[in-house]
Amino acid sequence: MTSDAPSRPEPTQLPNLQPSADWLAASVEEAIEPELPIIDCHHHFSEHWGGYLLPELLRDIDSGHSIRATVYVQCGWHYRDSGPERFRPLGETEAVVAFAEKAAALHAARVAAGIVGYADLRLGEAVDEVLTAQIAAARGRLRGIRNSAARHADFKHGILPRPMPLLYADPAFRRGYACLQRHGLSFEAWIYHTQIPEVIELATAFPQTPLVLDHVGGLLGVGPFQGRRMEAMREWLSAMRRLARCPNVTVKLGGLGTPVFGFDFCLRPTPPSSQELADAWRPVVEPVIELFGPQRCMFETNFPVDRAAAGYGVVWNAFKRLASGSSKADKSLLFHDTAARVYRV
């Protein structure tokens, strides 16, 4: 028996925009406030996005800013290629630890002082043994688990597998989520702004589990929101106000080079200045700081993905311009202390 209902068109695959090497080489500035301590609370290693491994990270850390430590966040890199499927993500953690130990002999910054790994929480209670194995593999560095729920019917983006709809409400997922607290782990959420209500429900259901929202809540500037930024902003801001009432939620300020935000800096013939970036990002960053307070906000580079916006040092300069009116104490929170608390660095 066949259905007469029209089939929904396949979602469009968004490109992973990355600048040329020459464009990126031109994106250099002298560091603003070079003495300000920084924890880069979100970066990846990968052969994707033009390639970004330990040499590239160490080169960026030496861009003039005072990077004291970094936090690595899973991206599906370097999984084991054999063994039970549920344990294959341990390969990413093991590879990151190897880089971190190598970096300790080469650089003063503590690379991957914290690691946010992956375990499929849809395993329910059975995820407990995976979490135990991830903690052992991380050698004291595991701080949290990320399961991305970022999904939209109209488009696909990124290199991670497309998640199931309403992942965070799935009963099996929630049984797995309940295991995080007894292991002392936080949860990392990557979603689009249309899914913020799902994060609110999750944070409310598990108030004792710290939840970190990546990339200012994924304010969309593509798909149905292309050319409708003000409408998207209204939706996003309304949802973020409700989310701010959840005291267990912290928000990362960054990720704005990700194509879903709708910026196209790397398609320009010359890279933007940090002032241009700050002006473009201010309407997104300032409301989040106002809603959550500096004690629940932390700047992130999201490199190498955000090389689509500018070079590493220029991105930090843009953040420092955004925080230029803040007190010394608030700057310490935004650039270092909130991340140090959340990730126990």
- 75 falls within a domain: yes
Residue pair 303/43 in contact (Cβ under 8 Å)? The answer is yes
pLDDT digits (tens, 9 = 90+) for 265-294: 999 999 999 999 999 999 999 999 999 999
Asked whether the predicted pLDDT for residue 2 surpasses 50, the reply is no
Percent of the chain topping pLDDT 70: 98
Q: Which of 62-71, 150-159, 168-177, 200-209 has the lowest mean pLDDT?
A: 150-159
Q: Give the separation between CA 169 and CA 129, rounded to whole angstroms.
A: 22
Q: Which residues contact 151 (CB under 8 A, 6 or more apart)?
A: 162, 163, 164, 165, 167, 192, 195
CATH number at residue 109: 3.20.20.140
For 107, other C-beta atoms within 10 Å of its C-beta total: 15
- 10 falls within a domain: no
Over residues 214-222, mean pLDDT: 97
**Bridge partners (DSSP) listed for residue 70:** 40
What residue type is assigned to position 264 of the chain?
D
- 91 falls within a domain: yes
In this prediction, residue 7 carries a pLDDT of: 64
Asked whether the predicted pLDDT for residue 4 surpasses 70, the reply is no
In this prediction, residue 1 carries a pLDDT of: 42
- 18 falls within a domain: no
SS3 of the chain: the string is CCCCCCCCCCCEECCCCCCCHHHHHCCCCCCCCCCCEEEEEEECCECCCCCECHHHHHHHHCCCCEEEEEEEECCCCCCCCCCCHHHCCHHHHHHHHHHHHHHHCCCCCEEEEEEEECCCHHHHHHHHHHHHHHHHHHCCCEEEEECCCCCECCEECCCCCCCCCCHHHCHHHHHHHCCCHHHCCEEEECCCHHHHHHHHHHHHHCCCCCEEECHHHCCCCCHHHCCCHHHHHHHHHHHHHHHCCCCCEEEEECCCCCHHHCCCHHHCCCCCCHHHHHHHHHHHHHHHHHHHCHHHEEECCCECHHHHCCCHHHHHHHHHHHCCCCCHHHHHHHHHHHHHHHCCC
Percent of the chain topping pLDDT 90: 91
In this prediction, residue 6 carries a pLDDT of: 55
- Using CB atoms within 10 Å of the CB of residue 129, give its burial: 0 to 12 exposed, 13 to 18 middle, 19+ buried: middle
In this prediction, residue 9 carries a pLDDT of: 76
pLDDT digits (tens, 9 = 90+) for 73-106: 999 999 999 999 999 999 999 999 999 999 999 9
Pairing label, strands 249-253, 297-299: parallel
In this prediction, residue 240 carries a pLDDT of: 98
- 14 falls within a domain: no
Nearest to 59 by CA among 334, 328, 304, 327: 304
In this prediction, residue 330 carries a pLDDT of: 98
- 17 falls within a domain: no
- Compute the mean pLDDT over every residue in the chain, rounded to the nearest whole number: 96
Q: How many domains does the chain have?
A: 1
- 144 falls within a domain: yes
In this prediction, residue 8 carries a pLDDT of: 67
In this prediction, residue 72 carries a pLDDT of: 98
- 99 falls within a domain: yes
Q: Give the residue numbers spanning the domain of 169.
A: 31-342
